[in-house]
Chains A and B, each alone.
Chain A
Amino acid sequence: MTMKKVTYRQAINEALFEEMERDPKVVLFGEDVGTYGGVFKVTDGLKKKFGNERVFDTPIAEAALMGAATGAAVAGLRPVVEIMFMDWIGIAMDQLVNQTSMIPYIWEGIKVPLVLRTQGGSGSKGSCQHTKSLEAWIYHVPGIVVAMPSTPYDAKGLLKSAIRNDNPVAFIEHKMLYPTEGEIPEGEYTVPLGRASVKREGKDVTVVALSKMVVESLKAAKELEDEGISVEVVDPVTIKPLDMDTIAESVKKTNRVVVVNEAFRTGAVASDLTAQIQERCFDDLDGPILRVTAPDVQVPYSPALEQFWLPGKDKIKQAVLECMKR
């Protein structure tokens, strides 16, 4: 297969192009996604190509966006709706929790094939309202598939699968990943939902990491290799439903686990993954599962304070070393 190098941003853009071309029922809307092509330029060129009925800018009204995407999905479209920053998912949340996710369960025979695209993550000096990772809120609600790709390859292939899937899928991007590069095939491919990916093989410790924390974990793994510690990095890619088999297989080999999630510690997805892993793998574990997360503190602006909030390579290394001692 011939490969090419693209950014995470381009990968998502390509997936949208290809799926809109393939299926006229796919529509794309959100704030500034049309004429401008999105504040992160992820939807660049789509309005020009597919026109104002299928790709359009909306009023600033996240509740209406989420609800309208839901209704449009019920009535025969396959909407991709963008909530620009995950920090204001709260405004859309009632629709998501009490309409989108409820409908397929109660209205038997009705499907809600939509993709909610949003992005979270810190590192941009965005302060409290532009940096949060609130995937745990969505993850908590039954009936929503939650995907958090970390590479251009996964992002493109997974988004294509998400658009083709008949369930509501929350597709959560990371703002600091947009410019990162990776290889993808020249031609058509998809990545299945619900399948984890081993990003690096190792034998001493399994690091289960989400989104940008996969990148940080790989950096940590590289440095730890020099210290003689072999780290396996597993990226769940889709966090719900979770590919527990791949994680369990890794744990069987390493017997030690660190879970990494850039989110407030209490009630983070990391907490739930930890619970799931110990339920399934208790007999394989040589010590407690450790978590690397952000603390239960709002994300401060001051560049001088950021280090205290951000989880990353160094904190992951520390946790792996700690894990080896236990």
Chain B
Amino acid sequence: MSEVSLSREKLVDMYRKMWLARHHDVWVEDMKTKGQILGSMHLATGQEAVSVGACAPLNDDDYTMHTHREHQQLIAKGADIGRMAGDMLGKVTGCARGKGGHMLLFDKDVHALGACGIVGGGVPVAVGYAMAFKVLGTKQVSLAFFGDGAANEGSVHEAMNFAAVRKYPIIFLCENNRWGLTCPQHEQAAVEDLADRARGYGIPGVTVNGNDVLAVYEAVKLAVDRARAGDGPSMVECQTWRMRGMGFGDTMEYVPKEYLEEGSRQDPICLFEKKLVEKGILTVEEARAIEAETKKTIEDAYEAAKNAPNPDESVFWANVYAAEIC
């Protein structure tokens, strides 16, 4: 695992967020099993290090663009879990007042804007955020999450080239779990490391172990510093393991056993915890306390959301146009 000299406070915060993210996806998977959440559901259980490592170098006022497998990315960005739960259950307490559901989460307070069910669809929008920051001279940066599958969309290629030419402050964060739905990466791309493509756009690209939260942090931190300094975009590819199916209910018979075994061995929370304990940053007792306390946070948020009111008809008609027309 990588060595990074971060404050104890920061490291513990990252560890905490990883547990929050893990508990979240385990909890909603359970609710989904019980039929308490309707619609589709993409889980990122086991991919926590990517989200947390990528968001840790960002400030609240940096913007993030998310994917369809986004719960953990939002948690990592600091989204309000209570309101997220509201959206997940279609309740009026959500940021979208229940209108968006699992695949369209956002939280404008932390500029997590937002998730996208159109694979690759959000990446050009994230370039627009970066354009605004450059034009307005704000020193904010934009970070766009996208998958290895999404990396093959024209929108993503166009966005990367556009941002590169304009030197916009953006980080293209490829969360490579080696699967796009049921298709392995090698059937979708002829390169092994997707970050190799960065060269073709004239921007730096690096591939890191996405289950090593410190490696992700380090690579993204460099990219963020570059972007803030006015040196333009970078691509960071984080290789990780998709431990759940393409969506809830996927029996994954097409996924090789060895892949899942390797993913289990590389559990990002275990790896990070081991390191923190070894370094004397955290005791095992403290780790267990964090594990328990974060679980309660998630449970409480979902209990509250279950009991929250549904949106009424006025919500349905609201914001078709968000501004006065005439």
Surface stretch bound by A, among B20-28, B145-153, B290-298: B145-153
- Bound form: Cα–Cα A124–B40 in Å: 8
Q: Mark B92-108, 1 if CB is under 8 A from A, else 0.
A: 00001111111110000
**Nearest neighbor of B318 in chain A, beta-carbon distance:** A297
Query: Is the pair B181, A128 in contact by a Cβ cutoff of 8 Å?
Result: no
Query: Is the pair B39, A301 in contact by a Cβ cutoff of 8 Å?
Result: yes
Q: Is A87 an interface residue (CB 8 A)?
A: yes
Query: Is the pair B182, A127 in contact by a Cβ cutoff of 8 Å?
Result: no
Q: Binding site of B, secondary structure by majority: helix, strand, loop or mixed?
A: loop
Q: Mark B173-205, 1 if CB is under 8 A from A, else 0.
A: 000000011110001110000000000000000
| Cβ-defined partner of A88 (8 Å) among B102, B118, B188 | B118
Q: Is B116 an interface residue (CB 8 A)?
A: yes
**Nearest neighbor of B315 in chain A, beta-carbon distance:** A305
Query: Is the pair A127, B104 in contact by a Cβ cutoff of 8 Å?
Result: yes
- Bound form: Cα–Cα A291–B322 in Å: 27
Query: Is the pair B311, A125 in contact by a Cβ cutoff of 8 Å?
Result: no
Residues of B within 8 A of A125 (CB): 38-40, 101
Surface stretch bound by B, among A59-67, A193-201, A267-275: A59-67
Q: Is A161 an interface residue (CB 8 A)?
A: no
| Cβ-defined partner of A57 (8 Å) among B90, B183, B313 | B183
Query: A308 with B101: in contact, given A91-B155, A302-B91 (CB under 8 Å)?
Result: no
Chain B stretch 87-144: residues in CB contact (< 8 A) with chain A: 87, 90-91, 96-104, 116-121
Q: Is A178 an interface residue (CB 8 A)?
A: no
Query: Is the pair B98, A60 in contact by a Cβ cutoff of 8 Å?
Result: no
Q: Is A104 an interface residue (CB 8 A)?
A: no
Residues of B within 8 A of A301 (CB): 39, 87, 90, 96, 98-102, 104
Report the interface size for chain A: residues with CB under 8 A from the other chain.
Answer: 34
| Cβ-defined partner of B154 (8 Å) among A31, A61, A297, A308 | A61
Query: Is the pair B313, A308 in contact by a Cβ cutoff of 8 Å?
Result: yes
Residues of A within 8 A of B116 (CB): 129
Query: A57 with B104: in contact, given A63-B154, A129-B117 (CB under 8 Å)?
Result: no
Q: Is A24 an interface residue (CB 8 A)?
A: no
Query: Is the pair B90, A60 in contact by a Cβ cutoff of 8 Å?
Result: no
Residues of B within 8 A of A91 (CB): 118, 153-155
Q: Mark B11-55, 1 if CB is under 8 A from A, else 0.
A: 000000000000000000000000000111000000000000000
| Cβ-defined partner of A59 (8 Å) among B98, B99, B188 | B188
Residues of B within 8 A of A35 (CB): 182-183, 254
Query: Is the pair A305, B90 in contact by a Cβ cutoff of 8 Å?
Result: yes
Q: Is B310 an interface residue (CB 8 A)?
A: yes
Query: A31 with B153: in contact, given A127-B117, A302-B91 (CB under 8 Å)?
Result: no
8 more contacts with CB within 8 A, not counting A61-B153, A127-B103, are A36-B182, A57-B188, A61-B152, A88-B121, A125-B101, A127-B39, A129-B116, A305-B90
Cross-chain pairs A/B with CB under 8 angstroms, 14 sampled: A31-B181, A39-B181, A57-B182, A57-B183, A60-B150, A60-B153, A60-B180, A61-B154, A88-B119, A91-B154, A127-B100, A298-B99, A301-B96, A304-B312
- What residues make up the interface of B, taking CB atoms closer than 8 Å to A? 38-40, 87, 90-91, 96-104, 116-121, 149-150, 152-155, 180-183, 187-189, 254, 310-313, 315-317, 320
